[in-house]
Amino acid sequence: MLEESSVVDIGKVLLDCDQVAHPCGSFDAIPGSLAFRMEHSTTFRWRDELSYVLPPPEALDMLSDSYFNSVNWFMLAIDEPKFRARSTRVLANEYVSTADRNFIFLMSLVWGLGAHYLWTSPATSSNMPVPTSLIAEMMKVLDVAYLRITASPTLETVQIAILWGSFHLFNGLPYLGFTIIGSAVRCAQAIGLHRQQRTSSTEESCLVWWAVEIGDKFVPDHASSVC
């Protein structure tokens, strides 16, 4: 049991804890409480996280190409060479580290967005590398897993929130989009993204934080009917 404390006392404890660099999730909202940990293993079978049968590698490459050609040029939230190298490594293995879990969901979102823009373009809609029904399946993965994704925030969590929120914002669900983009800000703060020292403006964490800034400050200005 905790000793009785005022809100100010508890707040001071939390602020004192915040002065030390903690890994995210290493302390709890109530000082002295027992920590709850979701992970009990160091690796997992990553395809089990996806509710659909994975298309062949060449189709996934086309979806990734579509994403980077259609989205990443104006919403620069992903370092393309880094993403492609990491996704290639994941695809080559049956099991990956639990640290890669949120990246699995990011891959599904990238593929889903890539498929969406192939499908909506008159030039490519007749030559889809995957069934159109798979687009919804790739996006549905996020609907099911989003609470888990944000419960263990990583850089990929913020990337997912920015991209997924922006997609909903401009595709018929603006209130949901604003909510998800708002969670991107909080997840970024949770992992200390706003405090990181960056050596280059092209560093991925810098790109992601800038995308958060745009999502939080500038997107509402261009969608004032929602605010």
Q: What is the mean pLDDT, run by run of 10 residues, along the chain of 227 residues?
A: 45 46 50 54 91 94 94 88 96 94 96 93 84 90 93 95 91 88 92 76 82 78 54
Which pair of tokens denotes residue 147? 């609470």
Is residue 174 situated within a structural domain?
yes
Report the pLDDT value the prediction gives residue 122, as an integer from 0 to 100.
83
How high is the pLDDT of residue 17?
52
Counting other chains too, the contacts that 216-225 makes at CB distance below 8 Å and 24 or more residues apart are 216/181, 216/182, 216/184, 216/185, 219/166, 219/169, 219/181, 220/178, 223/169, 223/174
For residue 41, is it within any domain? Answer: no
pLDDT of residue 7: 40
The per-residue pLDDT for 223 is 56
Position 37 in a domain: no
Would 145 be classed as within a structural domain?
A: yes
Backbone angles phi, psi at 170, to 5 degrees: -105, 15
- Would 224 be classed as within a structural domain? no
Does residue 40 lie within any of the structural domains? no
The model's pTM: 0.79
Structural domain boundaries enclosing 84: 46-218
For the chain, how many structural domains are there in total?
Answer: 1
The answer as to whether 103 is a domain residue is yes
pLDDT the model gives residue 199: 65
The confidence score (pLDDT) of residue 121 equals 87
Residue 216 has a pLDDT of 80
Distance (Å, whole) CA 118 – CA 100 = 27
13 in a structural domain:
no
